[in-house]
Structure 1
Amino acid sequence: MVKAVRLAASRLGRVRKFFKGTYLFAMLVFMYAPIIVLIFFSFTESRTMSSWKGFSLGSYQQLFRDAAIMDALWVTVSIAVLSAVISTIVGTFASIGLYSLKKRPRAVIENITQLPMVNPDLVTGISFMLLFSFMGFRDGYFRMLLAHITFNLPYVIFSVMPKLRQSSDMLYEAALDLGCTPWEALKRVVIPDILPGIVSGFILAFTLSIDDFVISWFAADGVQNLSIYIYAQARMGINTKINALSALLFITVAALLLIVNLKSIREERAAEIQNRKVARKSA
């Protein structure tokens, strides 16, 4: 009887593993097969995806010769860098100020800060469009930059806040006792202690800015980043040059996300090792 139960449990476990593996495989195929096809056809001599006419880097050569694409690339990269830097600086100091509040006001402000993250991009984009029109902002580049800084701020704040919770207030107080001014203690003690969270917030803000379409579409006025350019070109028919551009964008974003994930894994392992050392000493 016991053997029969164990055998049935073993078979049930194998079935579960099979369906888990099958589900994971099907999900990965569904998600990444279109991207693989897109990248594959970026290396064809054909100008469309209708047929394969041999291996060629012509699409990439045409890509870097296209003045419109280079202008869109400049707008995308410059907006991403500026918005990531500004939102990281503002978000870091906002996190420090938020962390210093009492529990109830901090909880209220944290919930308010989360609203832009859960708000639909369509609503956010239309809100920016109406706001900029009401305020009379006509510079499309400046409008897009302000929009990107605004929607990046919550992501930076919630990347820095966990590091502030992990750090000890005693370090800041000890720095003050040793003669540091509040600014020196912040610069020499607090910021180096939360630096991993600041870097993660910067990379996340940069990635979100490069990848954004909906908010940029509504906020900008006559200015195109790469996502807007790709959308406009796709409406007239997919060209392999767009495949090459999309492939480069995917590789860039994937590399940045990989860096963030590896950094998080290393931090978790370092925290586990530190906790084990503390546990051994206390034992």
Structure 2
Amino acid sequence: MQCRKEEVGGKLYLAYQYSYGVIRRQNPRERAERRKVTSEAKRKINALNRRFELMKLVSVNFTPGRDLFVELGWDHEPDEKEDAQALKSFHRRMRRAFQKAGREYKYILVTETHKRDGSDTRLHHHVIMTGLTGRDLALVRDGWPYGSVDVRSLRELTDNFEDTCKYLLKERKPKNKRSYNTSSNLKRPPEPLKRRVAESADLIVPPGVKLVNRDRRDTDCGRYQILVGKIIDQKAFDRYWDKVQKDRRRVMEQEHWAKYARQKKRGASSPYLARNGV
């Protein structure tokens, strides 16, 4: 059997499928080489997952052409405490201004201290935030009197904001540092749908989804596939998604009934059936 996970975030559709291979016995040198390859593969997968998580958040909460992509710079090199206080003040001013306009202030913030080539640069912040038509530039400038301010309309140059998210996550952070920070009022994507499928099953592009990217690889540890798509026909996709959820619930019920039958033979009761009044 293979494991399949499907996720939706706004117009973004993600599907993962993987199976586990059988690993033959290896000598110490082979094991060391495998650990090295596995660690590098894990690092790449983790980076990809961070990008997908950010893409989902942006897709669910922000709209191209309406919302903003902002860069906040400093006119000197601040220490950590000064920068934290400045950001706190900026967000407080933004929330106050948005409340007056009858809007909710949302943001995703990324802090950078290095250029793309890894060399140092002055600390600055990138912010994806809610926009206010006609007042955006003056509003943000008034809220950040500490240095340069660059306000642009949020654009979706590639599907699902992938280019924007790759740019925001280009700087590798220490393990104890977050890749980005968000306001607490962001909508969160729904829980992923997980299920087991046949070993021969292949990932297919669902109805209503345009294929953006597909990656499949076979390794000594098994094989995996990743499919990235954009929902272009919401009604067609909703019909597919409803069917998948119903199929998943039916399989879960069958599994629980089978487990109950085994427990009954041993004289035990099923917590699942008890919770559901059966």
TM superposition score category, shorter chain reference? under 0.3
Larger Rg: 1
Which is richer in strand? Answer: 2
What is the TM-score when the length of structure 1 is the normalising length? 0.24
Q: What's the TM-score once normalised by structure 2's chain length? A: 0.25
